[in-house]
Structure 1
């Protein structure tokens, strides 16, 4: 059996979507469409936030950081995926593979951390509206953004570093990108530390972040139920609606994908791979749409840019 243990000379081969190789060209159509939608949608939100001084508020600055994380994840994933689909270009150097892994998983951790920060932003907006600008200053938003970035780097950097110590018996990865566990399964060494660390990151990121988001919304609901006016209640809930939709778009596909891996033993492998890709792309595609629909300020700025007046 051939073994490989020097990352400088290793080359992996990405299969794409196993079992659907003959359909790769057709599959490239929806994926390239999503890619364009993500670039246009997230790019438009970033342009509006950057160019409109009225949008330089904590909520929209955090939204801009979320758009950046979505673009990083998408740009790390889709170009190589389309090269596989269009040109059958499957080879990827080990160092490039580990780099792709770092950016895809790191951006996911940063995105989750930003959603926690945005939940805190909504808590302050609903529960302490008179002190909103005092509590959520631009400097605090900047520090929270750097904290989210640091969390992504610190948690994900050990993954490729741990992989570099392994010897690999298999070089063909049955996936469209260098997913951490997909690469771990290629090793013929003792991979228990890699598996334990991967599980630790999932529990820390998804478990803790969802707990913090849930705690924020418990406090928000407690404040809402004490409001005397029906209009005030509706306004408070509407303040949080876009963030809630984004949370659903971000976590539900990922949880569904994780569940199918653990209990969906009869589900074909190509379905698992498709879900793993959609779990990364769907939130990035839906986030600008959700905020474009739910946030009047963004609708007004889009209408202004298009030379029309909103109703």
Structure 2
């Protein structure tokens, strides 16, 4: 590594991503689960989009939000994993300063969008279970479009100060980022100026994005659970709770590592660095992988439609092979 990476300079043209410091020897082996997760993300989320598009009975608000979640997961993963795999496989550690800020923006923007989608899905389940007779009149296609635009606009605006504040800082210490991607606090900590504004805004966004969103989700599910436990039959309770259970699993897999990663980056100075990076990777990569698996397996309409497609194709292949033999 050249001396320019450690000597003083001002506003470098490139940053150096170390990957997982201390585990460089195992980078090739670590890349295997990362690559597997990315393949599952691509195949799973594109499958969700394909099935919902092909099946008219799935053209409902719940599945529109699920499609938004699939697109968000694809963008969130694609903004980070290809570069991480390049680091692990080809030792391609350099990233342009502007590209680093762009990646930072995409990570925080689409994390905020995903959080907003979870709120919308919780409200969707609340209306469907607590006010089933008014569901179609409340969540019209026009309303779903407005909710989607509001979620995207909120995520875009909340994440915009991250790269703007980072760009204004002078960097004269080092351009080496001990991480797999351009995480906000990891970048601004390299600055040789006061970063309190960036840090406070990050905490504000953490409270705004996680605190408020989790509050609305908890309120929605509190009302949902109240209705579920008041249902007359056990089968009805189990069926309704099973529908919401998959949503809760996805929410927990997203928010818990997200919150833990944000807090440990700021306050967990005694924790090993590779542990920080592992937690950050969990919240960035695991939910996009789990979302299509959980919703695909737990949602009967999607599962049945996928099995129908696979069975139909399998029958066609079998018929073609039989004709070829004769």
Partner of 2:135: 132
Report the counterpart of residue 43 of structure 1 in structure 2: 46
Tell me if structure 2 keeps the 8 A contact 1:97–1:178.
Answer: yes
Question: After superposition, what is the alpha-carbon deviation per residue over 1:96-150, rounded to whole angstroms, capped at 9, x for unaligned?
Answer: 0010111111111000000000000000010011111111111111111111111
- Alignment pair present for 1:74 and 2:74: no
Aligned twin of 1:116 = 119
Measure how far apart 1:228 and its partner are: 2.3
Aligned to 1:234: 238
Greater mean deviation of Cα atoms: 64-73 or 242-251:
242-251
Say yes or no: does 1:20 pair with 2:35.
no
Give distance in 2, aligned partners of 1:231 and 1:25: 49
Deviation per CA, 1:202-258, whole angstroms, max 9, x where unpaired? 111011100000010111122223322323322321231221121122112223434
Q: Aligned equivalents of 2:185 and 2:268: distance in 1?
A: 17
Q: 1:208 to 1:146 in 2, by over 3 A?
A: same
What is the CA distance between 1:23 and its match in structure 2?
A: 1.2
| Contact in 1 for aligned 2:16/2:176 (Cα 8 Å) | yes
Counterpart CA distance in 2 for 1:215 and 1:294 is: 23
Instruction: Give the drift of 1:74.
Output: 0.2
**Greater radius of gyration (CA):** 2
Question: How big is the shift at 1:306?
Answer: 0.4
Is 1:4–2:10 an aligned residue pair?
yes
- Counterparts of 2:9 and 2:194, CA distance in 1: 14
> Structure 1: which 4+ aligned runs deviate by more than 6 Å?
none
Q: Distance in 2 between matches of 1:156 and 1:255?
A: 16
Output the TM-score relative to the length of structure 2: 0.90
Contact 1:45-1:64 at 8 Å conserved across structures: yes
Distance across 2 between alignment mates of 1:32 and 1:238: 31
Q: Is the 8 A contact 1:4 1:10 kept in 2?
A: no
In structure 2, the residue matched to 1:272 is 276
Correspondence for 2:60: 57
For normalisation by structure 1, the TM-score amounts to 0.94
SS at match of 2:192: coil
Instruction: Please give the alpha-carbon distance, in whole angstroms, between the structure 2 residues aligned to 1:263 and 1:199.
Output: 12
